[in-house]
Structure 1
Amino acid sequence: MKTLKQLLAGRTRPLAVVAPSDTVYHALTVMAKHEVGALLVLDGEQLVGIFSERDYARKIILQGKTSKETQVSEIMSDKVAYVTPSVSLDECMALMTEKHFRHLPVLDDENNVLGIISIGDLVKETISDQKFLIAQLENYIAG
């Protein structure tokens, strides 16, 4: 069973992060540049929150705030669930489905940030694994 450590090992692009003092507008530009739906919020090296499109929609748009005047710290989710690199993709997907999370940070045993996993990452990997298995079965059947 593949683990998050194995999935993260294949990543080449840098982790997209913001600081709690950054404006929401800045965070949105980072999200657009990196084509992601969530950002980890780091105070130095310490994970202090996560900022997502959902946070923006619920806490800026619906409350009539402005993204250029609001700091990320005011609207980020600061009670952050996370997973460790030893967690399997299936376990991670089950947790995300059960808790309705679309993104989860991956932290090591010393709470160092290793990356972030999205439900889309897990779905893509699952589809890839299934295609491989189907090809193997087709080859076996064809003899």
Structure 2
Amino acid sequence: MLVSEILAIKGKVLFTIGPNRPIAEAVEIMNEQDVGSLVVFSRGEMVGMLTFRQVLQAVQRGGADWQSLQVEGVMLREPRIASPDMEMDELRRLMVEHHQRYLPVMDGNTLLGVVSFHDVAKAVLEEQSFENRMLKNYIRNWPAGEGEE
């Protein structure tokens, strides 16, 4: 399965924030939209990613003043990138090796979406379910007497 197929299953809804916005606003968006990451955009291009992991690190470092920190000071500046033609196994390996649960999917300079570890797991389950249905259908329609000796 390709990353483009995972995006098709997931949909291309994208949640973003500007680098000069406060972390508190990012937390509010992430909570309201039930997402674990935001793409950080400035002047029409991606400049980083903010995930709940970076937010937790900011809370730990910032103490009582964490809410006033800006996204720019906390975001992941150079996240690993997936391409739409990347195989799912390669995507999983990249996520695991770099401890990155959310990967932006880029086609050249165009951001197509973000794929999460959850999206990958869901795609695997759907793929297995489809294969199981196909195998059951194949077995159900097996011609009588074939394969018997």
* Residue type of the alignment partner of 2:119: D
Residue correspondence of structure 1 range 59-74 to structure 2 within 5 A: 59-74=58-73
Aligned to 2:110: 112
1:132 is aligned to 130
Q: 2:12, 2:112 within 8 Å by CA — same for their partners in 1? A: no
1:87-107 CA-partner distances (Å, limit 9, x unpaired): 122221121122221000011
Q: Would the aligned equivalents of 1:45 and 1:112 in 2 still touch at CA under 8 Å?
A: no
Deviation (angstroms), 1:38: 0.8
Distance in 2 (alpha carbons) for counterparts of 1:96 and 1:35? 21
Give the structure-1-normalised TM-score: 0.89
Where 1:130 maps in the other structure, the secondary structure is helix
Residues 1:44 and 1:65: Cα distance change in structure 2 (over 3 Å): farther
Letter in 2 for 1:136: M
Report SS of the residue matched to 1:36.
coil
Counterpart-to-counterpart distance in 2, 1:8 and 1:18 = 21
* DSSP-derived class of the 1:87 partner: coil
TM, length-normalised to structure 2: 0.85
Counterpart of 1:122 in structure 2 is 120
Contact 2:13 2:113 in 1 (8 A): no
Distance 1:116-1:128 versus aligned 2 partners, 3 A rule:
same
Q: Equivalent residue for 2:89?
A: 90
Identity of aligned residues (%): 29
Partners in 2 of 1:119 and 1:53 — Cα distance? 13
Alpha carbons 1:24, 1:70 under 8 Å: kept: yes
Contact 1:50/1:80, CA 8 A, preserved across alignment: yes
Separation in 2, partners of 1:86, 1:13: 16
Q: Is the 8 A contact 1:23 1:67 kept in 2?
A: no
Equivalent residue number for residue 45 of structure 1:
44
Aligned pairs, how many?
Answer: 141
CA–CA distance in 2 between the matches of 1:12 and 1:106?
12
SS at match of 1:122: helix
Measured in 1, the distance between the counterparts of 2:104 and 2:136 equals 37
